[in-house]
Structure 1
Amino acid sequence: MAGKIPFVDYLVLDDGEPHLVAQECANCGARFFDRRNACAGCFATEFTTVPVATEGTVRAFTIVTFAAPGIPTPFVASVVDCDGTQVRANLVNVEPDPDHIRDGMKVRLTTYPVGTDSEGTEAINFAFEPAN
């Protein structure tokens, strides 16, 4: 197999356990995913790369029943609080039903393949799943 690559730049696969990294403002501590030229909170321009907790708590969710052609529905879109860093991600390995999901639910980071190129390189994405 040719290997694995992260689907997004802020997913780290080759440093022990998979985890996310954020850009943290050196002035106010606000965290962002992907590259930033300036902080949206204080307009400072210096950032450091910091790891994001791999476990968190669901703070908001919605069950998506209509999507673009080719995207299977229903699925659960959520906002997860990972020790103070807000992460937007899908919830997986849980029934897309309000009887099985709740605000305050404990979740953990998981990864899954989203495709393989012609040379056998797998693209890996992230989501969260119930922690228990």
Structure 2
Amino acid sequence: MSQSIPFVDYLVLGDSPHLVANECVTCGARFFDRRNACAGCFGTEFRKVDVATEGEVRAFTIVSLAAPGIPVPFVSATVDCGGTSVRANLINVEATPDAVHVGMKVRFALQSVGTDEAGTEAVNFGFEPQR
């Protein structure tokens, strides 16, 4: 039986896919990687919090040169998800200045990034335009 696994530790798959951040209990700063201390206040206590699945593009770039095997062009963006800044690719959108803009409303989306010989699929996330 094949299965799907998340490409990153902070991606939750299942019926309601979403991201989970580590939130500083002291100041509320959010991080996706493991932390020993908060970069904002040096607090050392964190809690897991769900990140909103809808957001707004705050900045983006169209990538036209990448490592071998990476299809270009693609859009890399910073998305504000209810106050949490998420860096991700925009998917299911043309990688052109006419198709993407700052302030664009987007929603969380999943994308397969490959399947191994045993049938295990790696799943990553991105954001797509809200329609």
TM-score, normalised by the number of residues in structure 1: 0.97
1:2 CA displacement: 2.1
Deviations 1:69-118 (A, max 9, x none): 11110000000000000000000111100011110000000001111122
Deviations 1:45-90 (A, max 9, x none): 1000000000000000000001111111000000000000000000
Which residue does 1:47 correspond to in 2?
46
Whichever residue aligns with residue 103 of structure 1, its letter is: V
Question: After TM superposition, what 4+ stretches of structure 1 lie above 3 angstroms from structure 2?
Answer: none
Q: Distance in 1 between matches of 2:18 and 2:30?
A: 15
Q: Distance in 1 between matches of 2:119 and 2:100?
A: 35
Which residue does 2:5 correspond to in 1?
5
Whichever residue aligns with residue 59 of structure 2, its letter is: A
Which residue does 1:117 correspond to in 2?
116
Q: Distance in 1 between matches of 2:9 and 2:65?
A: 27
Aligned length, in residue pairs: 131
1:34 CA displacement: 1.9
Map 1:21-60 to 2 at 5 A: 21-60=20-59
Q: Distance in 2 between matches of 1:119 and 1:102?
A: 40
Which residue does 2:71 correspond to in 1?
72
Which residue does 1:89 correspond to in 2?
88
Q: Which moved more, 1:108-117 or 1:81-90?
A: 108-117
Unaligned runs of at least 5 residues, structure 2: none
Q: Distance in 1 between matches of 2:121 and 2:34?
A: 24
Q: Distance in 1 between matches of 2:22 and 2:86?
A: 13
Q: What secondary structure sits across from 2:71 in the alignment?
A: coil
Q: Distance in 1 between matches of 2:48 and 2:96?
A: 36
TM-score, normalised by the number of residues in structure 2: 0.98
Unaligned runs of at least 5 residues, structure 1: none
Q: Distance in 1 between matches of 2:2 and 2:40?
A: 41
